[in-house]
Amino acid sequence: MAALLPTASAGGAVSAEVPVEPPAGMRRRRWIPYALLAPGMLWLAVFFVYPVVQLFMASLWNPAGSIETGYVFDWSWSNYADAWEMFHVQFLRSLWYALITTVICLALGYPLAYAIAIKGGRWKNLMLVGVIAPFFTSYLVRTYSWKAILSDSGPVVDFLKWAHLLGPDGRLLATEFAVIAGLVYNFLPFMVLPLYASLDKLDVRLLEAARDLYHGPVRSFLRVTLPLSLPGVVAGTLLTFIPSAGDYVNANLLGGPNTQMIGSVIQSRFLVVNDYPIASALSVMLMVTILVLVTVYVSTAGTDEVV
């Protein structure tokens, strides 16, 4: 640093002595990047920043108010304590389900992404279409169809009963299994696609080099493939964990009272019970928690070294 400083100041002195006037065309074009940013920034300001500020304000409204009578803003931090008191079970359950979902998605998604990227050959594009194809149908419709598949008189339950893997009164619907299965199904593509993107970039000649340097298939994977696909793992786990933690469709359609997630609670607080302050407090809590978890996770994974 010390060695660099004199050079830097010398450079500064030179440019001060000879002020270089940029040509008129250059000066005129300087605003172009900002102009390109403007629409997106405006969109974010109106549809993200403003609502988030509103949400935060609403979480501090006096809970005595109601939609009919209106709310008073009076820094009611007690809303947070009340929200935690009432719903910490669902809150922690959501994070737990999201974690399990992420782990299962990674376990299923990594081999799939690996197979498509490394062994796919000319079937690569077809296999990728297979991963994306579910998006051609609505998320809600697909989850409803899972309800039919897992229903008490559905084929899966019938088979499990026949195989004596499920008792005569056993059911899948309204269990943790159904909710997590639904989450895994719905968010698997979000795991597979970033993993595919990073594995597809992997130079297979590096694997040859590893083999040449006495590393068998397993060790080559652990020391070369896995570290180099880490950016994909981080992106995939984030894209799976974050939406899973806030999801309410799977819990509502496939779960029961004992598998309720925080997303369902927020949804019903807002739209059924009309308890805006508690619903807002829960939303802010979820947002902040995820933000903290993600920050810790990304800084520990240290992907900046890899990419």
Partner 1 sequence: MSDQDLRIENVTKTFGGFTAVDDLTLTIPDGSFFALLGASGCGKTTTLRMVAGLEEPTAGRITLGGTDITRTRPYKRPVNTVFQSYALFPHLSVADNVAFGLRRKGVGRKDADRKVAEMLDLVQLGGYGPRRPAQLSGGQQQRVALARALVNSPEVLLLDEPLGALDLKLRRQMQIELKRIQTEVGITFVHVTHDQEEAMTMADTVAVMQAGRIEQLGAPAEMYEFPASAFVANFLGQSNLIPAEVTGHADGDVTVDAHGNRLALPAARCRVTSGSALLGVRPEKLHLCDGLDAVPSGHAAVRGVITDTSFTGVSTQYLVRAPWGSELTVFVPNSGLASPAAPGAEVAVHWLPAHSFLVGS
Q: How far is the CB of 23 from partner 1 (least distance, A)?
A: 34
DSSP conformational letter for 46: I
| Shortest Cβ 115–partner 1 spacing (Å) | 21
Strand partners, 70: 66
Cα 242 from Cα 88, distance rounded (Å) = 18
In angstroms, give the least distance from the CB of 233 to partner 1.
13
CB-neighbour burial class of residue 77 (10 A; exposed 0-12, middle 13-18, buried 19+): exposed
Do the Cβ atoms of 201 and 232 come closer than 8 Å? no
User: How open is the CA angle 229-235-236, to the nearest 5 degrees?
Assistant: 85
Residues with Cβ within 8 Å of residue 17, at least 6 apart in sequence:
none
Nearer to partner 1, 184 or 234 (CB): 234
For residue 231, the minimal CB distance to partner 1 (Å) is: 10
Sites of contact with partner 1 (CB under 8 A): 203, 205-206, 208-216, 219, 223-224, 227-228, 305-306
Residue closer to partner 1 by CB (options 89, 213) is 213
Q: In the complex with partner 1, which residue's Cβ is closer, 28 or 119?
A: 119
Minimum CB distance to partner 1 smaller for 274 or for 299: 299
Q: In this complex, which beta carbon is closest to partner 1, that of residue 57 or of residue 209? A: 209
Least separation in angstroms between residue 2's CB and partner 1 is 19
Q: How many Cβ atoms from other residues are within 10 Å of residue 82's Cβ?
A: 16
